[in-house]
């Protein structure tokens, strides 16, 4: 499996917010580069916009969603276990936004 490498010099549109915030998910051992790698995969498949980023959170909006969002939700829950109790398929389809949050904010 090929893993994208994020260049901190040119991470791409919106991703600099994640790098500036030093976004990380200590509980699941994800750091800014790995978070950006995953977001870029979703960006390739669906188109996303990074709206905001904090120390342990990222807010994104999807340009389009698949007809069946359940497999995508499963990916979200694996990427951010805290999301499972907070985001339903109905809410995702209505807002097209997701706030991944892995812990505390300072």
Residue 6 placed within a domain: no
Query: Taking the chain (106 residues) in consecutive chunks of 10 residues, what is each chunk's mean pLDDT?
Result: 43 84 89 95 96 95 97 95 88 96 69
In a domain, 89, yes or no: yes
How many domains, in total, are found in the chain?
1
Domain of residue 63 covers: 15-101
State the pTM of this model: 0.84
Contact between residue 3 and residue 37 where contact means Cβ atoms under 8 Å apart? yes
Which pLDDT score, from 0 to 100, does residue 86 have?
Answer: 86
87 located within any domain: yes
Is residue 73 situated within a structural domain? yes
CA 62-56-72 angle, 5° bins: 35
Distance (Å, rounded) from C-alpha 15 to C-alpha 32?
9
Q: Domain for residue 1, yes or no?
A: no
């Amino acid at each position: 499996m090929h893993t994208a490498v994020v260049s901190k010099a040119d991470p791409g549109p919106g991703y600099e917010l994640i790098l500036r915030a030093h976004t990380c998910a200590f509980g699941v051992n994800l750091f800014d580069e790995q978070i950006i790698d995953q977001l870029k995969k979703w960006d390739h498949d669906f188109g996303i916009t990074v709206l905001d980023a904090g120390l342990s959170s990222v807010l994104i909006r999807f340009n389009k969603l698949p007809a069946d969002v359940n497999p995508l939700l499963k990916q979200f829950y694996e990427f951010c276990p805290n999301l499972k109790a907070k985001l339903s398929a109905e809410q995702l389809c209505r807002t097209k936004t997701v706030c991944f949050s892995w812990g505390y904010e300072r």
